Amino acid sequence: MMIAGIDIAQLVAMLMVASTPILLAATGELVAEKAGVLNLGVEGMMIMGAIGGFAGAVVTGSPALGFAAGAMAGAGMALLFAFLTQVLLSNQVATGLALTLFGLGLSALLGQSYQGIKPPATEKLTFGPLTDLPVLGPVLFNHDWVVYLSLALVAGVGLFLSRSRAGLILRAVGESHDAAHALGYPVVAVRVAALAFGGALAGLGGAYLSLVRVPQWAEGMTAGAGWIALAIVVFASWKPGRVLIGAYLFGGVTVLQLRLQAAGFAIPVQLLSMAPYLITIAVLVIISARHRRGAQVAPASLGRVFHASR
């Protein structure tokens, strides 16, 4: 199917790849926010995941090990954030910003010797005849394993939060840390775990950027993807399924503007490049206007400092 010279099936397949880093990061951030912590350092965790994953893959020659390294780099950053905000009780907004600034600097430093290198390729999976199906084949059955993993993680997080007891406790901690503490739940431990998970996913998303999406290492290559992931959590009203919609919507806009750039429309490249950010703002405005009128959606303890004094 072709519209305006663009193959729609190919566009959807590209969209899924473009969305995966943000989908992963947003899913992770959703879990952290559900536990009541606002980690504005997603950008910093992603970029550390990007360099960690890239370096890991180049050094070991294995993309899978690279992804593992990226996840660990993201989780390590998140644990730094957790130590500051949960143990040293620092302000979450300021600490998140610090995490981003630090991550951008440190990743650039670590990445000095990795510029201009090609990482080992992450193979696409094939599903025999399914992959050859028209339209459905390229859209559903011809991706690398991380795309499928990201989808499984969204479903897994959704089930975990709504069905499991651990998920219930996590939500309870995010709703009211005082009440959860009064009932004997380890608020800080739950939050640290949620943050580490969120960081690992952000790192994985970053690694996907440097290993598959681009695939190359460049300073500041996340270019605001972490912030967009934060926006998508708000857009999704803290619901995992809607994170998927939000991330794919965003991926769609990105891919479309790239195609328009390539197709040589008479709009300057720089103005087209603004589109993802402007659309994110527009979507945020629509959603927040709705939230203001509608029911409570954000976890009630989000961003508040917990200190069990007595």
Partner 1 sequence: MTATDKLLIVEGLSKAYPGVKANDAVSFSVAPGEVHALLGENGAGKSTLVKMIYGLVAPDQGRMVLAGAPYAPADPHAARMAGVAMVFQHFSLFEALNVAENVALGMENPPPMRQLAARIRQVSQTYGLPLDPARIVGDLSAGERQRVEIIRCLLQEPRLLIMDEPTSVLTPQEVEILFGTLRKLSAEGTAILYISHKLEEIRSLCDQATILRGGRVVATCVPAERTARELAEMMVGAELKLTDRAGRQAGAVVLRVTGLSLPPATPFGPSLKEVTFDLRAGEVLGIGGVAGNGQEELLAALSGERPGRPGTVLLEGADIAALGPNARRARGLLAAPEERLGHAAAPDMSLTENAILTGTVRKPLTRKGFLDMGAARAFAREVISAFDVRTPGPEVAARALSGGNLQKFVIGREVLQSPRVLVVNQPTWGVDAAASAAIRQALLDLAAQGAAVIVISQDLDELMEIADRFAALNEGRLSAPRPTAALTLEEVGLMLGGAHGMKPVEGMA
Partner 2 sequence: MIRLERRAVPSRLWTVATPVAAVLATMVAGGILFAALGKNPAEAIRMIFWDPLFGPNASYFRGQLLVKAGPLILIAAGLAVGFRAGVWNIGAEGQYIMGAIAGAGVALAAYPAESPMIFPAMVLAGALGGWAWAMIPAVLKARFGTSEILVSLMMVYVAQNLLAYMAFGPMKNPQGFGFPGSRNLQQYPSAHNPELIAGTGMHWGVVAAFVAVIGTYVLMHRHIAGFRIRVAGDAPKAARFAGVVPGRLIAFCLGLSGALAGLAGLFEVAGPSGQITDSFNAGYGFTAIIVAFLGRLHPVGILLAGLLMALTYIGGDLAQLMLRLPAAAIQAFQGMLLFFLLGFDLLTNFRIRLGRARA
Contacting residues toward partner 2, per CB under 8 A = 40, 80, 84, 88-91, 93-95, 97-99, 101-109, 111-112, 219, 223-224, 227-228, 230-231, 234, 268, 270-271, 273-274, 277-278, 280-281, 284-285, 288-289, 291-292, 307, 309
Q: Between residues 124 and 171, which has the closer beta carbon with respect to partner 1?
A: 171
Query: C-beta of 239: minimal distance to partner 1 in Å?
Result: 13
Q: Could you say which of partner 1, partner 2, none residue 310 binds, taking C-beta under 5 to 8 angstroms by partner kind? A: partner 1
Which amino acid belongs to residue 89?
Answer: L
Query: Closest distance between partner 2 and the C-beta of residue 66, in Å?
Result: 21
Q: How far is the CB of 231 from partner 2 (least distance, A)?
A: 5
In sequence order, the 6+-apart residues with CB closer than 8 A to the CB of 294 are none
Query: Which of partner 1, partner 2, none binds 179 (CB below 5-8 Å, type-dependent)?
Result: partner 1
To the nearest 10°, report the CA torsion of 161, 86, 179, 202. Answer: -10
Question: Residue 152 is which amino acid?
Answer: A
Instruction: Name the E strands within the chain.
Output: 2-3, 6-7
Nearer CB in complex with partner 1: 61/186 = 186
Residue 40 interface partner, choices partner 1, partner 2, none, CB cut-off 5-8 Å depending on type: partner 2
Q: 244 contacts which partner out of partner 1, partner 2, none, CB within 5 to 8 A by kind?
A: none
274 binds, among partner 1, partner 2, none (CB under 5 to 8 A by kind): partner 2
Nearer to partner 1, 52 or 299 (CB): 299
Please choose, from the candidates 70, 26, 54, the residue with its C-alpha nearest in 3D space to the C-alpha of residue 226: 26
Angle at CA 303, nearest 5°, toward 94 and 93?
Answer: 10
In the complex with partner 2, the residue whose CB is nearer, 262 or 274, is 274
Q: Which is nearer to partner 2, 152 or 281 (CB)?
A: 281
Tell me the CA distances in angstroms from 29 to 7, 110, 138, 253, 287, one per residue in order. Answer: 33, 25, 29, 22, 18
Question: Letter for the amino acid at 201?
Answer: L
Q: Which residues pair with 3 in a beta bridge?
A: 6
Q: Which does 2 bind (CB under 5 to 8 A by kind): partner 1, partner 2, none?
A: none
CB of 184 to partner 1, least distance (A): 3
Asked if 221 contacts 44 with a C-beta cutoff of 8 angstroms, the reply is: no
Least CB distance from residue 304 to partner 2, whole Å? 12
Token readout for 268 is: 């300057």
Per-position DSSP letters for 86-135, written without gaps between them: IIS---HHHHHHHHHHHHHHHHHHHGGGGTTPPPPPPPBP--GGGGGSTT
Q: What residues line the site for partner 1 (CB under 8 A)?
A: 165, 168-169, 171-172, 175-176, 178-185, 294-296, 299-300, 310
Q: Provide, rounded to whole angstroms, the least separation between the CB of residue 212 and partner 2.
A: 22
Closer Cβ to partner 2, 5 or 264, answer by number: 264
Q: Which is nearer to partner 1, 2 or 295 (CB)?
A: 295
Nearest approach, Cβ of residue 229 and partner 2 (Å): 10
Helix (H) or strand (E) holding 230: helix 225-235
64 vs 284, beta carbon nearer partner 2: 284
Rg value, the chain, Cα:
20
Signed CA dihedral, 264, 266, 268, 274: sign only: negative
